[in-house]
Structure 1
Amino acid sequence: MGREDGQHAVVIGASIAGMCAARVLSDHYAKVTVFERDDLPDQPANRSAVPQGRHVHLLMARGAAEFEGLFPGLLDDMVAAGVPVLENRPDCIHFGAAGHVLGTQATLRDEFTAYVPSRPHLEWQIRRRALAIPNVELVRRGIAQPRYDAAEERVTGVLLDADDASAIPADLVVDATGRGTRLPVWLEQWGFGRPTETTVDVGIGYATHQVHIPDGLIEEKVVVAGASHDQPLGLGMLFYEDGNWGLTTYGTAKVPPPQNFSEMCALADQLLPAHISAAVRKGEPIGDVAFHKYPTSRWRRYDKMDRFPTGIIPFGDAVVSFNPTFGQGMTMSSIQAGNLREVLRSGDPDIAGKLSQATAKTTWPVWMMTAIGDLSLHNATGEAQWWYRPVGDLFDQFLGAAETDPVLAEWFLRRFSLLDSLWMVPSASLIGRTIRHNARLWWTEKRAASRSRRDRDRVPSR
């Protein structure tokens, strides 16, 4: 299929997801117009419309590969701009999950290579590439709503103002407006009803400081200490292209995060190895603390709707927004872009239906993984299947074994990064390895305790 497939596609929102959608659409439509009301800086910078952008964002290895497929040369250009690369050495990462520090003493395999751009830098790199495509145009203004033809049950464009005279015709409209999308409202107005929603009330509160830490104090480039059932606070540190660290602390289940740099340092003392927390205390905070709240993970189930208008598709966080402490949102948007590319290449006229099915297929295993983690390990509230708790307990055992077994640690990191598969399901051999590992530890601890009791009994009384 070529660009003669359609004449005009419109993307509402110049987010990372919106720019990825524009890139894919540019291969199938003669013209792609992106509407964005926010100011878009010419250099990497935080945007008011992206309040979460000031907080730590982790680009998963899978996401790096997907973005490179959409924008060839992106990764090399990021490295040339100073973006750190997580080399395949065990001293580059400190990773804690659900109260366990994974044993990363072994070198990770080559294809695990990860890149560590800040959110503003990655967004800028993607945006400038998308807008450099000849048939992609940016229009700096918002839209009032899509233009809907009730007789044809089709969206035929967008309205810049409330009246029909402002209509911009389009063969396809992409809603990439994020979590605050109004598409469910519009669908209800058009007679289709709202999509059902699956939610998890995670109650996340963020506090982030940019920190300059003197060179040579930390070998690691990625430092993660996740929250657990007994410790509702977590912490993430990433070394970025400007030579500074992003230090994000957070609380789960509505527990407030640290409110200032001193409290962040105190949390680092609790959660991190001594050499890292000491380096944080020697760091110089830059600017003010940035705060942000993320109350609810939300999946709008467009794939379950009986009827849906043609001519419009939801995209990115407008469909599903994941708990950001898992760091998978940007990567899932890149996977959605891959889904859109495959649907358009197939030539199927039911673009919305096929895309919603494909997105549901790639969303389900990741949503399930994060929901189990939140509901069983992070004290979140929401609808839970009966098997979430036992699966969460089993993974707690798996992560306990991964503290000292690099093979299990690498398997978890690769699956958590969505690299090998979207399914976090260990094989029978890995489950057996976990059981044997934990049994050996239990037996060793029992024998040590027994020897200690015997030694105490031999001490003569006075």
Structure 2
Amino acid sequence: MGGTAEHAVVIGASIGGLCAARVLSDFYDRVTLCERDALPDRPANRPAVPQGRHVHLLMARGAQEFETHFPGLLDAMVADGVPILENRPDCIHFGAAGHVLGTAHRLQDEFTAYVPSRPQLEWQIRKRVSALDNVEIIHATVTQPRFDRASEQVTGVHLESGSVLDADLVVDATGRGTRLPAWLQQWGYERPREDVVFVGISYTSQRVRVPDGLLREKVIVAGASSTQPLGLGMLFYEDGIWNITTFGVGKAKPPQDYAQMCALADEILPPHVGAALRHGTPLDDVAHHKYPASRWRRYDKLDRLPAGILPFGDAVVSFNPTFGQGMSMTSLQAGHLRRALETPGADVVRETIRATAKTTFPVWTMNAIGDLTMHRATGPAPWWYQPVGALFDQFLGAAETDPVLAEWFLRRFSLLDSLYMVPSARLVARTIRHNMTLWLAQKRAGKRPVTFEAMRETR
């Protein structure tokens, strides 16, 4: 342990808070993690994490980052039954913006991925954090941080019980419902600007047991598109049960019961999937959830911040969950925090916030373009979003049958090679040639080559 400071307090014991506590444990003599929810001693959904009942996808980059913070985590999950995505085409059905990728060719080894449920991953991480000698997880509600106006520094937290915990650093990992902007205003600072995309997502989820042998896939995803506001995700989890999440974007209403889920699968997925689901047995009640807006609180734009408090995880940025990037992006933030703590003389809060903004920008921008141009979202949109969205739609169309383009997209979507999803000139030229070939084939066949969307549907 580095032991460069005495005590750190983390508010919130979800995945973000646990990751922060793990990093801090290497640099602080003591770390106290405060959680208002009663924490189960096994993988289980929690009232404080209502989204936990819905499908969560752990990106390949996220798995790598979590393994860095928690060595041995991936092998332990596999030992507890978490499925691995094998390196074969029929293991995954992946649809993005109405285009189906990754089913026609073998993916590279780096795409080896793990499919834990959200409760399983959180429990695995919590076990490891709880085992650290200098970390204590307490069942306590933080009412607000303690702020010293003379030094302009947060010096601890007030608990609902009336007691106070002194701290050299407080990490706010309370998620999308963070009250830090209001606290800043109360202390005489500006609230951070908020970049918002109103995605209007509604979820309906159902756990289903499907008879063995009916589905070879482990992950089945069909995202919403410009013409279809409904999507569906199915993941085969460690308990041998499929979790099915249907969703609607742009305030579209998703299926409300299992029969409607099966009907949607018939419409947007290969026929064998809907047929398998009709042989399935629902195991519990349908779960509903709403996600009205993606939100990025721009702490990186503030000129003044109090010392001693760091926003973390969804308290900074919450991404459209249908893209499945949230947990992986949180793991990247933990890396930023570690590097800031390792830098002698660094302003840990400022450095972590700046690094987080740097990795957030490309992912946020691409998500915003997709949501605002293809998913019926509303919000501020620069003029160039629309042409970029149209060009990327053409790229995805070409990637359906071009394995090189599909490989590039899946690696970037999984956050492996780069967070910037900007094709090179060579890949753009390859896309143009591919789509022009389709256009000419239409013309030679005596058909009127209409829109690219119409051409795509003929493949």
Could you state the TM-score of these two structures normalised by the residue count of structure 1?
0.96
- Counterparts in 2 of 1:87 and 1:103: CA distance versus 1, 3 Å: closer
Structure 1 unaligned residues grouped into runs of 5+:
452-462
Q: Matches of 2:381 and 2:140 in 1, distance apart?
A: 41
Structure 2 unaligned residues grouped into runs of 5+:
449-459
Q: Per the alignment, in what secondary structure is the counterpart of residue 369 of structure 1?
A: helix
Letter of the structure 2 residue corresponding to residue 128 of structure 1:
K
Displacement after TM superposition at 1:161 (Å): 3.9
Q: Matches of 2:29 and 2:174 in 1, distance apart?
A: 23
Given candidates 193, 198, 201, the residue that maps to 1:196 is 193
1:417-445, CA deviations, whole angstroms, 9 ceiling, x for partnerless residues?
A: 10111010111111111111111111112
Q: Matches of 2:265 and 2:259 in 1, distance apart?
A: 10
1:342 aligns with 2:336: no
Letter of the structure 1 residue corresponding to residue 124 of structure 2:
Q
1:126 aligns with 2:125: yes
Given candidates 323, 332, 335, the residue that maps to 2:320 is 323
Structure 1 contact 322–328 (Cα < 8 Å) conserved: yes
Q: Matches of 1:205 and 1:404 in 2, distance apart?
A: 31
1:215-257, CA deviations, whole angstroms, 9 ceiling, x for partnerless residues?
A: 1111111100000111000000000000010100000001111
- Counterparts in 2 of 1:392 and 1:450: CA distance versus 1, 3 Å: closer
Q: Aligned residue for 2:24? A: 25
1:53 aligns with 2:59: no
Letter of the structure 1 residue corresponding to residue 200 of structure 2:
G
When Rg is computed on C-alpha atoms for both structures, the one with the higher figure is 1
Q: Aligned residue for 2:452? A: none
Q: Matches of 1:214 and 1:161 in 2, distance apart?
A: 49
Shift >3 Å, 4+ stretches: none
Letter of the structure 2 residue corresponding to residue 130 of structure 1:
V
**Correspondences of 1:171-190 after superposition (within 5 Å):** 171-190=168-187
Structure 2 contact 200–250 (Cα < 8 Å) conserved: yes
**Correspondences of 1:270-285 after superposition (within 5 Å):** 270-285=267-282
Displacement after TM superposition at 1:449 (Å): 2.5
Letter of the structure 2 residue corresponding to residue 116 of structure 1:
V
Q: Matches of 2:415 and 2:373 in 1, distance apart?
A: 21
Letter of the structure 2 residue corresponding to residue 398 of structure 1:
F
Q: Matches of 1:126 and 1:277 in 2, distance apart?
A: 34
Given candidates 260, 263, 267, the residue that maps to 1:266 is 263
Q: Aligned residue for 1:456? A: none
Structure 1 contact 299–321 (Cα < 8 Å) conserved: yes
Structure 1 contact 57–118 (Cα < 8 Å) conserved: yes
Displacement after TM superposition at 1:349 (Å): 4.0
1:313-354, CA deviations, whole angstroms, 9 ceiling, x for partnerless residues?
A: 000000000000000000000000000000000123411111
Structure 2 contact 172–315 (Cα < 8 Å) conserved: yes
Q: Aligned residue for 1:82? A: 81
Q: Aligned residue for 1:375? A: 372
How many positions carry a matched residue from both structures?
448
Q: Matches of 2:240 and 2:102 in 1, distance apart?
A: 27
**Correspondences of 1:218-367 after superposition (within 5 Å):** 218-367=215-364
Structure 2 contact 21–31 (Cα < 8 Å) conserved: yes
Q: Matches of 1:112 and 1:302 in 2, distance apart?
A: 33
Give identity over the alignment, percent.
69
Letter of the structure 1 residue corresponding to residue 365 of structure 2:
M
Q: Matches of 2:3 and 2:262 in 1, distance apart?
A: 57
Q: Matches of 2:161 and 2:14 in 1, distance apart?
A: 24
Letter of the structure 1 residue corresponding to residue 403 of structure 2:
P
Q: Aligned residue for 1:142? A: 141
Q: Matches of 1:274 and 1:79 in 2, distance apart?
A: 30
1:273-326, CA deviations, whole angstroms, 9 ceiling, x for partnerless residues?
A: 011111111111110000000000000000000100000000000000000000
Q: Matches of 2:272 and 2:161 in 1, distance apart?
A: 59
Q: Matches of 2:95 and 2:418 in 1, distance apart?
A: 21
Letter of the structure 1 residue corresponding to residue 445 of structure 2:
A
Displacement after TM superposition at 1:450 (Å): 5.4
- Counterparts in 2 of 1:230 and 1:138: CA distance versus 1, 3 Å: same
Q: Per the alignment, in what secondary structure is the counterpart of residue 292 of structure 2?
A: strand
Q: Matches of 2:236 and 2:408 in 1, distance apart?
A: 24
Greater shift in the superposed pair: 312-321 or 401-410: 401-410
Q: Per the alignment, in what secondary structure is the counterpart of residue 255 of structure 2?
A: coil
Alignment RMSD: 1.1
1:47-92, CA deviations, whole angstroms, 9 ceiling, x for partnerless residues?
A: 0000000000000000000000000000000001110000111111
Structure 2 contact 16–313 (Cα < 8 Å) conserved: yes
Structure 1 contact 104–406 (Cα < 8 Å) conserved: no
1:399-424, CA deviations, whole angstroms, 9 ceiling, x for partnerless residues?
A: 11011111111111111110111010
- Counterparts in 2 of 1:146 and 1:267: CA distance versus 1, 3 Å: same
Q: Matches of 1:215 and 1:326 in 2, distance apart?
A: 28
Structure 2 contact 341–348 (Cα < 8 Å) conserved: yes
Q: Per the alignment, in what secondary structure is the counterpart of residue 381 of structure 1?
A: coil
